[in-house]
Structure 1
Amino acid sequence: MSDATAPGQAPENSDFHRLAHFPITFFAIVMGLMGLVLALHSAQEVLPWVEPLVNIALFFGIAVFVLIAIFYVAKILHHPGAVVWEWNHPVRLAFFPAMSISLLLMSVACYASFPQAAHALWVVATIAQGILTVSVLSGWISHRSFEVGHLTPAWFIPAVGNIIVPVAGVRLGYPEISWLFFSGGLVLWIVLLTLVMNRLVFHNPIPARLFPTLLILIAPPAVGFISYIQLVGTLDPFGHVLMNTTYVFAALILVQVPKLLKLPFALSWWALSFPVAALTIASFLYARLTGSGAYEVIGLIGLFTLVVIIAGLILRTVLAIARNEICQPE
């Protein structure tokens, strides 16, 4: 049997070695690592001693991105049928924009020290984000039918990518493009939020393997707040709404922590990292805008939690690779 697996059909184990099962979800690791870089950067006013850690975390995140990209390009070249299968997978399809989101976050992280590199990264990432968003949306509304059980908060990922664009885009001199992506991402988030809440309330629970994606509920309003402040330059009522919506979803997630701690490890656990980073960054920004020490404390708690999460995820991912627990067929 050749590698030309039919769309939507899982590849046969005998025809695909581990590279064929190298999942697109690996790019969620880079999102988490770049989120850590930006969270450390946002904490510098409160914790000046973290400044040397920012570039260390940045270069580590870039190295991980390059490594993952090399493996995924090899998969595209040697196992294109496996990539087609992922594209037609109802959950993994939403993770393809994680590639462009990783580059967008990288551009934001590089802006202070390497502005020219940040500019180039932002242009490439924004073009890729636009293409991937339209492609994923086209995949969702094509002739294929999705079941309600296929819908998870991971479907927010394309919307989050669009909302991230203004974070660096405004400072780089692209306000109109930033408004375009922000508007599209915000509307898409609202539509998907309605669908996801309907799925969570009226249908079967999310499978244990995908339950950590519930934390992605935090990301759109948190990133939306950061981008909105970049766009308008001041804290207005809508900014308050976005930030407090973030805290409402964070409170909802806190109630789920006991259940999360009982779940076995999977790559989906990396969904914990970027939303916590976004919450941390937004809290530090909100503290500066409001002059409130309470939100600064929330930011510090978020940063501590994020460091623990990232350290634990790195350790558990390395162990999983060593034990051949990942890159296995579904």
Structure 2
Amino acid sequence: MRDLTRFAGAPTPMAGLALGIGSLGWSWENMGIFDGKAQALGAAIAGVLLLVLAVKFLLHPHLLKDDLAHPVVGSVVPTFAMATMVVSKAIGGQLGSGLWLFAVALHLVFLATFAWHRARDFKLHHMVPSWFVPPVGIIVADVASPGGALAPLAHGLLWFGIACYALMLPVMLYRLIFAAEVPDAAKPTIAILAAPASLSLAGYLTVVAHPSPLLVDLLLGIAVLMTAIIYLAFAKLLRLPFSPGYAAFTFPMVIGATALFKVVHLFAAWGIDSTSIAQLTFLAELELWVATVIVSYVALRYALFFSPLRRAHLAA
């Protein structure tokens, strides 16, 4: 039992790292050389991290309650459900569909709880980019959708997420430009600005049979622009002292590459000229390599920071 109490120290943002690792393995499948092995490996590692957090929340439910009430940590709690959706895709079959449905329900509970807390004590300066995670992050359900009888639910979640992004983006930009500076402890969440457009695009292309060229071009433009901005922001973000919030760097980079690969396949189906497709493929592969470096770096920093030797040094 004493060993189990150690799980209380597992940082909740680690769910974001699980999401990044699971998604990275899946995204590498677009290179066409892994035959499902990369997806399975990513899902397995993500599953271990999720299991650690699940034990923490089951043994110490008050910690989950406290996290959900926090204006920053509460917004990243849903990454636990999002990572579970990614794992469900790797499992597949009825078990995968059941796990997907459970993760969707869990995400909606996290969303409702976070929204309730924020509505009770809303302050503009509390807003950080991770606030996109509860309402827009649900679109991961579309990227991981098992289809079939669950397709209508996936479609509803897609349009809910896109609508929330459209409503929140102007407010978030206003807050970042005109309100108080984001505290250093929350600055890693700035990287999340790269995720919503890419996630919306990836989800849209996954579940919509006949995509609108206008919406695809709009989301693609925003996605590439936001990703480029965060690439530049990394010059400062990576200089911040390490914290579990570094996990926010991972998934936004991965989903950017994933969305571009989906656009490549779409453009090929539309008969777009080969030069444009080649350029977009190069960009997708570049983003995938950048995502791999970022995820590997964050995972290494986590491993070093939470190693037994490091914990013993801090305790001393």
Could you say whether these structures have the same fold, taking a TM-score greater than 0.5 normalized by the shorter chain as the test? Answer: yes
Percent identity, please: 21
TM-score by length of 1: 0.83
TM-score by length of 2: 0.86
Matches of 2:144 and 2:109, distance apart in 1: 19
**Could you tell me whether the CA contact under 8 Å between 1:119 and 1:172 is conserved in 2?**
no
Q: Deviations over 1:33-69 (max 9, x none)?
A: 111122112232xxx1575333222222222221232
Q: Deviations over 1:87-113 (max 9, x none)?
A: 221111112212211111212333xxx
Matches of 2:144 and 2:8, distance apart in 1: 35
The alpha-carbon distance between structure 1 residues 319 and 95, as it changes in their structure 2 partners (threshold 3 A), is: same
1:137 aligns with 2:115: yes
**Could you tell me whether the CA contact under 8 Å between 1:212 and 1:271 is conserved in 2?**
yes
1:93 aligns with 2:89: no
The alpha-carbon distance between structure 1 residues 90 and 300, as it changes in their structure 2 partners (threshold 3 A), is: same
**Could you tell me whether the CA contact under 8 Å between 1:43 and 1:50 is conserved in 2?**
no
Residue type of the alignment partner of 1:324: R
Residue type of the alignment partner of 2:231: L
The residue matched to 2:149 in structure 1 has which SS? Answer: coil
Of 297-306 and 270-279, deviating more is 297-306
The residue matched to 2:144 in structure 1 has which SS? Answer: helix
Residue from 79, 92, 103 that aligns with 1:125: 103
**Corresponding residue number in structure 2 for 1:5:** none
Q: Which structure shows the higher helix fraction?
A: 2
**Corresponding residue number in structure 2 for 1:232:** 208
1:43 aligns with 2:13: no
Which 4+ runs in 1 deviate beyond 6 A?
Answer: none
Matches of 1:85 and 1:131, distance apart in 2: 15
Of 66-75 and 313-322, deviating more is 66-75
The within-5 A match list for 1:25-104 is: 25-44=13-32, 48-49=33-34, 51-76=36-61, 80=62, 82-104=63-85
Of 66-75 and 123-132, deviating more is 66-75
Matches of 2:100 and 2:255, distance apart in 1: 19
Matches of 2:122 and 2:223, distance apart in 1: 28
**Could you tell me whether the CA contact under 8 Å between 1:159 and 1:220 is conserved in 2?**
no
The residue matched to 2:28 in structure 1 has which SS? Answer: helix
Residue type of the alignment partner of 2:300: L
**Corresponding residue number in structure 2 for 1:9:** none
Matches of 2:155 and 2:119, distance apart in 1: 25
Residue from 272, 282, 302 that aligns with 1:317: 302
Matches of 2:267 and 2:224, distance apart in 1: 16
**Corresponding residue number in structure 1 for 2:242:** 265
**Could you tell me whether the CA contact under 8 Å between 1:152 and 1:214 is conserved in 2?**
yes
- Using the TM superposition, give the Cα deviation of residue 18 of structure 1 relative to its aligned residue in structure 2, in angstroms: 6.8
Matches of 1:52 and 1:105, distance apart in 2: 14
- Using the TM superposition, give the Cα deviation of residue 128 of structure 1 relative to its aligned residue in structure 2, in angstroms: 1.4
**Could you tell me whether the CA contact under 8 Å between 1:97 and 1:132 is conserved in 2?**
yes
Matches of 1:51 and 1:21, distance apart in 2: 33
1:248 aligns with 2:233: no
- Using the TM superposition, give the Cα deviation of residue 265 of structure 1 relative to its aligned residue in structure 2, in angstroms: 1.0
Residue type of the alignment partner of 2:86: L
**Corresponding residue number in structure 2 for 1:8:** none
Matches of 1:223 and 1:239, distance apart in 2: 12
Give unmatched runs, 5+ long, in structure 2.
269-276
Residue from 170, 194, 206 that aligns with 2:182: 206
Q: Deviations over 1:186-229 (max 9, x none)?
A: 22222222221111110232222222211211211111111112
Report how many aligned residue pairs link the two structures: 299
Give unmatched runs, 5+ long, in structure 1.
1-16
